[in-house]
Amino acid sequence: GAAEERFEVSVWPDQALVKYGQSLTVNCSTTCPDPGPGGIETLLKKTEVGKGPQWKKFLLEDVTQNSILQCFFSCAGIQKDINLGITVYQPPEQVIVELQPAWVAVDEAFTVTCRVPRVTPLENLTLTLLQDDRELRRKNFRSLAMASQRAEVTISVKAQWVDDRCNFSCRAELDLNSRGGGLFHSNSALQILRLFGSRELLATVPTLWGLIQFIMAFLFSSLLLISWQNFLRARKSGSLHFWRLGWQKRLPEGYHQ
């Protein structure tokens, strides 16, 4: 009759977001009062876990890839179906940032690379490279998602004095709000850049100059002490006049009195 011709088929959930390797329960139902054969068609491993006159429930196990599931029912010889897209996601649990090289001379280039070994879907990922709290580069993969595309971003930087001992890190964000999920984010460990070369040499100049000043002061003090001791001995022995003559002989002619 008319009811059979106007029957509908529905599936729950209407969009499926499944964490990698997890399971999903799917309910396929119809408004047909006396339905014929019905169920789901999928390449995933499925198990029927419940049923009623107008519905069937299935458990999909170990979901590791995106797929499209078809829910169908027939009514009075007419079959209708509806598709369910299943999206697998994997949060960015491990974020790695690398400096190459980790020690660099001033005005030389070094690279900062951020990569996430396991994350999906790639088109919802954003990677942000940071130097301390300053954003160096942000990359989203919305228009770049391909089978060969890796979750990686690299930037080349010329080292400056201010970069010494700076912290470099990376933040990964997987935004699944548009797919009915949430926002997943993770941060890398900090990597510290070290500079070498002329800066260390410049840093030693004040120390060397201080050492030279100390040595000169020590020598001058020693000479004064020796002269004072000689003066005292000459005075005690009564030869002060000869001691003064000795000093006068050492002085230029203009200094004699």
User: What separation in angstroms does the CA of 58 have from each of 46, 83, 179?
Assistant: 6, 15, 22
Average pLDDT estimate for 203-224: 67
**pLDDT band of 255, cuts 50, 70, 90:** very low
Say if residue 53 is in the same domain as residue 132: no
Distances (CA, A) of 134 to 126, 128, 189, 201: 16, 10, 16, 29
35, 63, 89 - which closes a domain: 89
- The CATH code of the domain that includes 172 is 2.60.40.10
Residue 146 in any domain: the answer is: yes
CB neighbour class for 217 (10 Å; exposed up to 12, middle 13-18, buried from 19) = exposed
201 in any annotated domain: no
- The residue-averaged pLDDT of 109-123 equals 92
Which residue type, as a one-letter code, is found at position 184? F
- Residue 93 in 3-state DSSP? coil
Tokens of 11: 């599936």
pLDDT(143) > 70:
no
Task: State whether 136 and 151 are in the same domain.
Answer: yes
Kindly indicate the confidence band of residue 251, based on its pLDDT and cuts at 50, 70 and 90: very low
Q: Which residue has the tokens 């971003």?
A: 153
Q: Give me the mean pLDDT over the 197-210 stretch.
A: 53
Residue 131 located in a structural domain: yes
Q: DSSP code of 190?
A: P
What is the domain count for the chain? Answer: 3
- Indicate if 130 and 85 belong to the same structural domain: no
- Asked if residue 185 belongs to a domain, the reply is yes
Structural domain that includes position 15:
2-89
Same domain, residue pair 132 and 182: yes
Band of pLDDT at residue 238, cut at 50, 70 and 90:
low
Token readout for 77 is 């010889």
CA distance 190 to 187: 9
Low-confidence winner among 37-41, 118-122, 150-154, 244-248 (lowest mean pLDDT): 244-248
112 & 192 share domain? yes
Q: What is the mean pLDDT of the segment spanning 144-161? A: 78
CB burial class (10 A; 0-12, 13-18, 19+) of residue 50? exposed
Examine the fold and report which residue of 196, 223, 240 is the final residue of a domain before the chain moves on.
196
The verdict on 82 and 115 lying in the same domain is no
> Residue 181: inside a domain, yes or no?
yes
Same-domain status, 80 and 38: yes
pLDDT at 12 over 50: yes
Q: How many CA atoms lie within 13 A of 40 on its CB side?
A: 29
Mean pLDDT of 190-203: 70
Q: State the pLDDT confidence band at 210, using cuts at 50, 70 and 90.
A: low
Whether pLDDT at 112 is above 60: yes
Least confident residue range of 171-175, 176-180, 231-235: 231-235
Indicate if 8 and 74 belong to the same structural domain. yes
Same domain membership, residue 101 and residue 192? yes
Higher pLDDT, 127 or 216: 127
Would the pLDDT of 155 be above 70? yes
Query: Which of the listed residues 196, 221, 238 is the one where a domain comes to its end?
Result: 196
